[in-house]
Chains A and B, each alone.
Chain A
Amino acid sequence: MNLRALVVDDEALARQRIRHLLRRTDDIEVVAECANGLEAVKAIEDLKPDLVFLDIQMPELDGFGVVEAVGAEGMPPTLFITAYDQHALKAFEVHALDYLLKPFSPERFHKALERARRWCLQQPGMGPDLEALLAGLRQERPWVDRLLVKQGDRHVLVRTAALQWIEAEDNYVRLHVEGTSHLLRQTMSGLLARLDPAQFRRIHRSAIVNLDCIKEFQPWSGGDHLVIMRDGTRLTLSRTFREQFGEWL
């Protein structure tokens, strides 16, 4: 059975190196190459490869961002590749994940490939625990600075710094960004946990605001406050969440 592989690295020479090493094997076929994280997310969803060679350091959306965007459960068996990242290495060691350090030898590459082949033949879910890996990384780097959202069949990267406010909408959250908005499948508390608390606060059961985008607070009835945003949007700061603003109100 031929394995369909995806090669993700922002550097053409690095992708070329992997293609070159794969030439020795006859059971792996490279179905696509991606030069960044966004392309990788799309290719994984569209092409459903059996195996992904995933570089960790990439501009904008990095390798872990790709895993997070696709979802640990939807991620094919993945071979992580990195030049130098102490956080990542620690996480790999903790979760007993195989990884390749650049520059790697052909022997090292084929050894890792051998292990990856075994995961591919196993039942899904028997491979390494990516969910635990992501959870571990979150402890190291708790706040995200970009979110990947889907718009039609496109993927869009949104900088968290550009988020003005976030609104709860059933099982989704709506991200308001300069004149437009995006839906993201996520819970309010789940998202809040990933946002830097120095910048984002919950003001209501159904609203999170970016503190940089607040213009003023006005007292309102029943201990509530009216929050007026820079763009004129009016939101409510409910009594329940008021104490977080104790230093100001």
Chain B
Amino acid sequence: MTHVNPRWSWYWGIWALMGLYMASWDMAMYPSGSTLRLLMMNLLQNGTWGLLGLFLLWLANHRPIESFAWSQWKTWGLHLLASVAVAAFGLFLAYIISLLVQLGEWKKPLDMAMILKGLPRFYRSYFHTNLLFMWAVVAAFHGLRIYRKYKTREVVTAQLEARFAEAQNLALRMQLQPHFLFNTLNSISALVHSNPDGADEMISRLGDFLRATLDEPQGPMVTLRRELAFIQDYLAIEQIRFQDRLRVEVQIPAELMDLRLPSFILQPLVENALKHGLDDRPQGGTLYLRARKEAGNLVLEVQDDGDGYVAGREGVGLTNVRSRLGLLYKGTSQLEIMGTVGHGTLVVLRLPLEAAAGAGP
């Protein structure tokens, strides 16, 4: 349950402002009256109402009106009754205050007959306005309450969303690994007999690769340098597996190395390039990795010289990359796949530079 706990300086400040406002109203109506007296009277009256308002606040917190539903009629009734009572009692006190202030000026003692004589007229003049005023107070408390509730919910939703995105991100990354992992282990078991040095190399590369997937202290974004180191571990393993059929060319300017991008976003693209670009070709092929800055974007390119991508269903890897980009950049990034049959495939990934350069979106 959301409680309204107004800052007290604000609470009393607003009542004081109301007092000043009403004093100016009185001054306009009775230009002959003493300014000091009108000011004092109105401030005292509003202070009294402020005290009574605490009761309405308590009621708003403990018996809040939650909806317009019929089942809430008791609560509506309670608030109506309370506001009538507060308006009536508040008006009585206000009347006494105005009398006391006036009496100070008239220098006459207070007598009962006089009080009773003026009271009905005072009520006739002010009760309806005052009741309306109290309703405004009740409405203000409820408005504040709903606003607080909404704010809290918004914060909770945002937190949930962030956590969900993070979890999803993690799950998507994990999905990439098992295939590669088991195939690599199998290759190592072959290499152990035929090429012990190669097996050795592969084990240490695999170690680096696994370390990179396991520890990720920097959150969902990493520097291009780190991502590239990871890709190179991956490619080194694949190069041993493809045995000279795979050539790799990296063209990435050193000044781009500190730009940030989503972790492990390149690996599926490279994996795809190897799978669809090189696997079926006995003579092997070349993989190009390029990066550049262009029109506020970090542009990354993965190109192979294989058979060329034919539009059709996208594999798990690409679907994965797309959903992670969607989560992290919310539509401001772009992934394009261009292929011509017989002339290889070019994948172009554009990431907005502000997000790429900063601490991440």
Contacts and interface: CB of A to CB of B under 8 A. Distances in A.
B190 A17 contact: yes
A59 B310 CA distance: 14
A94 interface: no
B312 A159 contact: yes
A96 interface: no
Interface string B59-70: 000000000000
Interface in B222-279: 241, 243, 275-276, 279
A1 interface: no
Interface stretch (B78-86, B87-95, B96-104, B176-184): B176-184
Given A12-B243, A83-B182, A84-B178, A159 B310 contact: yes
A102 B186 contact: yes
Contacts of A249: none
Interface string B179-195: 10111011111110110
Contacts of A20: 190, 193-194
Contacts of A12: 241, 243
Contact of B312 (A11, A14, A104, A145): A145
Interface in A47-65: 57, 59-60
A145 B312 CA distance: 9
A161 interface: yes
User: Interface extent on B, as a size class?
Assistant: 20 to 34
A102 B182 contact: yes
Contacts of B186: 11, 13-14, 17, 83, 102-104
A103 B179 contact: no
A66 to B, nearest CB: 15
Interface in A10-31: 10-14, 16-17, 20
A16 B190 contact: yes
Given A59-B275, A159-B310, A159-B312, A83 B179 contact: yes
Contacts of B243: 12-13
A240 B7 CA distance: 75
A32 interface: no
Contacts of B182: 83-84, 101-103
Given A13-B241, A14-B183, A20-B193, A145 B188 contact: no
Closest 3 CB pairs of A and B: A17-B190, A102-B186, A83-B182
13 contacts: A12-B241, A13-B186, A13-B187, A14-B183, A14-B190, A20-B194, A59-B275, A59-B276, A83-B178, A83-B183, A101-B182, A102-B183, A159-B312
Given A14-B186, A84-B182, A102-B183, 20 more contacts: A10-B279, A14-B187, A16-B194, A17-B186, A17-B187, A17-B190, A20-B193, A20-B194, A35-B282, A59-B276, A59-B279, A60-B280, A83-B182, A84-B179, A103-B182, A103-B185, A103-B188, A104-B186, A145-B313, A161-B311
